[in-house]
Amino acid sequence: MNFREWALPVYSILIQLAIGAMLVLWILRWLASTKFSPGEMNRIIRNPILVILFTAIVAMIGAHFHLSKPFYSFYAVSNFKTSWLSREIVFTVLFFYILLALWIFSRSKRNYRNLVAALGWSAILIGLILVYCMARIYMLPTQVAWNTSAVIVSFYTTTALLGSMTIACLLVLDLEFAEIQKTKDIAIRKRVIEYSLNWLVVVASLAVIVDIAVTFYQIHLLSQGGVISQTSLQLLFKLYTPLFALRLFFIIVAPCWIGYAVYRMRKVKLSLQELTVPVYMSCLLILVGEIVGRFLFYATHIRIGL
Amino acid sequence: MIFLNFLYGLAFEGLGLAAYLQLRREGDFPLKRELPWLAAFGFVGGAAGWVDMFLTSGSIQEFDQILNILRVVLHLLTGLLLLRFGWGMLNNLNPLPAWTIFIPGILIVPIAFVITYASTTFITPSPIEIPIEIWTRYLLYLPGSLLAGIGFLRQWYVQRKIKMYDVSKLMLGAGLAFLFEAVVVGLIVPAAPYGPASYYNYDRVIHNAFVGETLNVNQPYGLNAWLDYQSVLNTTGIPIEIWRMLSAAVVTFFVVKALDVFEAIRKRQVQALQNERDRAQQAAIETQILARQTAENWASVLVNTSRRIAELNDVDEILRQIALHLRELLDAEFVGLALVDQQSRNLELKCFSNIKKTDLMTSSTYVVTNPLILNSMQSFSSYLSQGDESREMFEGLCFFCYQEANAAAIVPLKLDNLAIGALWVARFESRNFSETDLIYLESMADQVVIAIQHGLMTSQLQSLSIIEERARIAREMHDGLAQVLGYLNLQVQTLGTLLKQGKSEQLQEELIQMRQAVQTANADVRENILSLRTTLAKEKGLVSAVKEYLDEFGIQTGIEIQFVDLTEGVLNLPSVAEVQLVCILQEALANVRKHSNATFVNVSITKIQQKNNSEEIDMKVDDNGIGFTLSNSKRSFGLQTMRERAESVGGSLFIQSDPGSGTQIECRLPCLKQERLPKRSVVIR
């Protein structure tokens, strides 16, 4: 893949990461508000919202490198009614603006709690629609390897997996920052992390299981397909076998590693430093695994026709 | 090439060895925590270089495969150790700002993309060692060298801030050396068909191995083109291996020098700490000496003052000495002592001491109106200025001075629960007196009160003495003069009768008796007058007073007096003892005049040294009179009185007399001990 071709995995991975992180964050916020005060949760989620917004901006910028004429990208939205690409772009921009508004209102000194909640759920809805649009772009008859519903499921599992690991990483880094700054709500942040990590590990593990299942389902579909499908399968198991094995290895090891860390955290009371490394490395492994998976997604497709 | 690889390996082994040896030294200094990683990096990097040497030599071809695997592993390990060392240099030596915590989180996505991209490049036609070497350099050597370089540059900044300029220069050198190494070891890689290597060191061809596409690219992507091994050789004339060896040598040089300098700095710091400790000890000793001297000075002054009071020295002189000593010991510019005048009820300045003089207020009256002093007296409490008082508060503290006080300590004088005055010290500069100074001032105030009390008691005693003396004179007049006058009165009547009877012979006898009686009475009166006149004025001294008395006695009585003074005028007797000595002499001479019929009297005063180093004054009164028997002497009452006088001042009286052999009266009185002699207190500086 050349430089331009890498722009697509960058955009798709980053935007799904942002959507997944937003989804996981908001669900956690909703669940945790029964145990912790909404005001405290709003303080804790401020920095993650900023990171998600920043990720969405980078994704949008990266997407332009895929275009031969980036400055004419706004023309792509003109076919919203018929084109999934146009819809993807529109929902991407919409997702970005809702995130921006969410960030602004969440940091405001005035109490916009209800508006913030509404914006958060709206961003999630738009994001989930965006993921669907992204998946539908690839479901073309000319792209035999992509033209299955497994692509949609795969995109959603990637969203959930990347989101859960990202939020885990963000919360731990944010706690480390708060400890150094000696902010007053450190104890609450620690309890939020302890509460959140349990759920995040569960979500990540489920996402991995579904992801692996979908992957093998896709392989099964390819194996049942015609010549093109078989060619794709051959590419996967001959040329790209190491990468495939690497991907599987990383996405299995990562939740196991963080799961073990969470188990020790409950039993032995791990220090923050002992928790940071497993969370960070697990997030990195998941990211590498998913990016490799996305690379294999692009690398193994064979286009037929126009 | 073999030799180059050998030198390359040697340079890194040297770095590892130097770091390892430094680890074994004692002391704590920056870099020590990261030295294990640096040592491991050096050893493993050196081993990798020597493996390259063997591979290049081709001398052990049967082990080529193993050597290749070993080379890959060692290069990977070297890169990881360098990365770990660089991270430690950047983060662990001096904590990074708090916001840098988010950098790993931000970089996680780009790092994941790079790792993915790197893993995809392994699926290329190139031998597997090439992508391994390329990505080892890009992903391990390059960031590791950059981190180490930035870490050393941070140390350069830190050491400069604490003025360790010699160390900071070496840190700068090491930082730049690592950055140079980042280029030659981390950035210059073998040629490869994929980016970023392909963008500047391959045939300007981007090859997509996955779909078999080849794309010719005409424009570079911003980096210098042709930065491969060949282009380096073409440009510089030196192979990349030499540049890498040089970079390793430079890094080794600067790091080893920095470690040596740290050792030297550590020794300097230890020496400086030892010097500081010695200085502190010396200062503590000097402080202790000063404190002891101060305490000794105060003790000396207090003891001398107490002694003067006990010896009934002049109260005014005692107060003057107290004022003078206070000003010296408290390093003050003014000392004042004021007493309440009983008639006017004003607080009047009694004694003062300033820089120019110490004096008593005898002629003028200065009323003290300073509110601090008056408040102190009213409240019966001492006062110590804290420095926050207004200037007006100190007005009227310093008399006969051209400046006003800025610091003061005041103590009321208390006698029988009554404030009779105040004692204060003042300084012109704003340097407050301490609590210890106040304690000493209060001690001296107590001495002032005791001196005043003793003065009052002495006055009372003197009054009593005068009364006793007057009673004695009245008694003597009654026993002597009054009797004689009564006798004369009767004799006059008898003379009238004899004259009428014409008995002239009897009349003549009676007149002779009357004349004797009148002469005796006259001598008694004159003796009393002489004893009343005899004073022990300070300025004349005892010996002068005795000489004057003896001269007058000789004139009055016609008895030859010889006075021998072997004391050179220095008797060192207490005042009371001097008084008793004079009284004993007067009594002895009165007895000589009345009873001894002596024509010659020898009075001698000598000083006798005893065995226990004490001294005594020995006074002898020798006459050539008729002598007497001690047992039935009419003089026994007078002798008893003399003995009591001598014993009252710790002395003794010896009387030696035989009829027809004259009389010797010897009186011994103890002198003052050496340490109790009146002298100016010596202030130790």
The tens digit of pLDDT for each residue in A224-251 reads 877 777 777 777 777 788 888 888 999 9
**Segment B19-73, tens digit of pLDDT:** 888 777 766 666 777 888 889 999 999 998 888 888 877 766 677 778 888 888 8
Which of B104, B105, B116 minimises the CB distance to A288? B116
Residue B634 banded pLDDT, cuts 50, 70, 90: low
Q: Identify the pLDDT of residue B358.
A: 87
Distance CA B431, CA B330 (A): 11
Please say whether the dihedral angle defined by the alpha carbons of residues B3, B6, B12 and B13, taken in this order, is positive or negative. negative
State the Cα angle at A153 between A149 and A157, rounded to 5°.
165
pLDDT at B633 over 60: no
Residue A275 banded pLDDT, cuts 50, 70, 90: confident
Q: How many CB atoms lie within 10 A of CB B355?
A: 13
**Phi and psi based region of residue B293 (left: phi greater than 0; alpha: psi -120 to 50; beta: remaining):** alpha
Who has greater pLDDT, B121 or B450? Answer: B450
Bridge pairing between strands B334-340 and B347-354 = antiparallel
Mean pLDDT of all residues in B429-451: 91
Q: How many CB atoms lie within 10 A of CB B356?
A: 8
Q: Given an 8 Å threshold on Cβ–Cβ distance, is B112 in contact with A299?
A: no
Distance CA A23, CA A167 (A): 10
Coil, strand or helix at B362: coil
pLDDT at B507 over 80: yes
Q: Given an 8 Å threshold on Cβ–Cβ distance, is B98 in contact with A243?
A: no
Tell me which chain B residue has its CA closest to the CA of residue A246. B119
Nearest to B323 by CA among B395, B251, B399: B399
Who has greater pLDDT, A215 or B523? Answer: A215
Domain boundaries, chain B: 2-190+228-276, 298-453, 535-685
Instruction: Average the pLDDT over each of A63-72, A158-167, B322-331, B535-544 and give the range with the smallest value.
Output: A63-72
Which of B119, B206, B208 minimises the CB distance to A246? B119
Which residues does chain A have within 8 Å of residue B105's beta carbon, measured at their own beta carbons?
51, 169-170, 173, 280
Residue A127 banded pLDDT, cuts 50, 70, 90: very high
Task: List residues bridging with B205 in a β-sheet.
Answer: B216
Q: Identify the pLDDT of residue B208.
A: 54
Residues 199-228 of B with CB under 8 A from A: 206, 208, 210, 215
Q: Hey, what are B81's tokens?
A: 């150790």
Q: Identify the pLDDT of residue B43.
A: 92
Q: Identify the pLDDT of residue B667.
A: 94
Nearest to B91 by CA among B140, B150, B22: B150
Q: Identify the pLDDT of residue B206.
A: 47
Who has greater pLDDT, B465 or B203? Answer: B465
Q: Identify the pLDDT of residue B215.
A: 56
B294 to chain A, closest Cα gap in Å = 52
Mean pLDDT of all residues in B255-281: 81
**Could you give phi then psi for residue B37, rounded to 5 degrees?**
-70, -40
Which residues does chain A have within 8 Å of residue B217's beta carbon, measured at their own beta carbons?
none
Mean pLDDT of all residues in B83-112: 79
The answer, for B113 touching chain A at a CB cutoff of 8 Å, is yes
**Could you give phi then psi for residue B350, rounded to 5 degrees?**
-105, -40
Q: Hey, what are A33's tokens?
A: 């508000």
B25 to chain A, closest Cα gap in Å = 30
Which of B101, B108, B215 minimises the CB distance to A283? B108
Q: What is the pLDDT of chain B when averaged over all its residues?
A: 81
Q: Identify the pLDDT of residue B311.
A: 76
Q: Identify the pLDDT of residue A17.
A: 93
Distance CA B231, CA B191 (A): 11
- What's the CATH superfamily of B298-453? GAF domain (3.30.450.40)
Who has greater pLDDT, B57 or B644? Answer: B644
Burial B132-161 (b: 16+ CB within 10 A, else e): bbbbbbbbbbbbbbbbbbbbbbbbbebbee
Distance CA B568, CA B574 (A): 17
Residue A256 banded pLDDT, cuts 50, 70, 90: very high
Q: Identify the pLDDT of residue B126.
A: 58
Mean pLDDT of all residues in B194-222: 50
Q: Identify the pLDDT of residue B426.
A: 93
Who has greater pLDDT, B673 or B442? Answer: B442
**Segment B540-584, tens digit of pLDDT:** 678 888 888 898 889 888 899 999 998 876 777 877 788 888 889
B190 to chain A, closest Cα gap in Å = 20
Q: Which of A46, A161, A171, A173 to mutate to test the interface with B (most CBs of B within 10 A)?
A: A173
Q: Hey, what are B20's tokens?
A: 């390892």
Q: Identify the pLDDT of residue A2.
A: 58
Most confident segment among A124-133, A241-250, A296-305, B525-534: A124-133
Q: Identify the pLDDT of residue A209.
A: 92
Burial B572-590 (b: 16+ CB within 10 A, else e): bbbbebbbbbbbbbbbbbb
Distance CA B288, CA A38 (A): 66
- Chain A / chain B CB contacts < 8 angstroms: 66
Percent with pLDDT over 70 in chain B:
86
Which of B99, B111, B113 minimises the CB distance to A10? B113
Give domain B2-190+228-276's CATH architecture: Up-down Bundle (1.20)
Q: Given an 8 Å threshold on Cβ–Cβ distance, is A288 in contact with B115?
A: yes
Tell me which chain B residue has its CA closest to the CA of residue A292. B116
Who has greater pLDDT, B469 or B382? Answer: B382
Q: Identify the pLDDT of residue A88.
A: 87
| Residues comprising chain A, all counted | 306
Mean pLDDT of all residues in B398-426: 89
ipTM metric: 0.87
pLDDT at A287 over 80: yes
Q: Given an 8 Å threshold on Cβ–Cβ distance, is B98 in contact with A177?
A: yes
Asked if B2-190+228-276 and B535-685 have one fold, the answer is: no
A26 and A120 Cβ atoms separated by less than 8 Å:
yes
Mean pLDDT of all residues in A107-119: 83
pLDDT at B449 over 60: yes
Q: Given an 8 Å threshold on Cβ–Cβ distance, is B195 in contact with A173?
A: no
pTM of the model: 0.56
Q: Identify the pLDDT of residue B226.
A: 54
Q: Identify the pLDDT of residue B681.
A: 43
The answer, for A188 touching chain B at a CB cutoff of 8 Å, is no
CATH topology for B535-685? Heat Shock Protein 90 (3.30.565)
| Alpha helices for B502-567 (secondary structure H) | 504-533, 541-557
Tell me which chain B residue has its CA closest to the CA of residue A7. B113
Which of B104, B109, B120 minimises the CB distance to A280? B104
A80 and A86 Cβ atoms separated by less than 8 Å:
yes
B48 to chain A, closest Cα gap in Å = 27
**Segment B364-407, tens digit of pLDDT:** 788 888 999 999 998 989 999 988 888 888 888 888 888 888 89
The answer, for A6 touching chain B at a CB cutoff of 8 Å, is yes
Give domain A1-138's CATH architecture: Up-down Bundle (1.20)
Q: Which amino acid is at B493?
A: Q
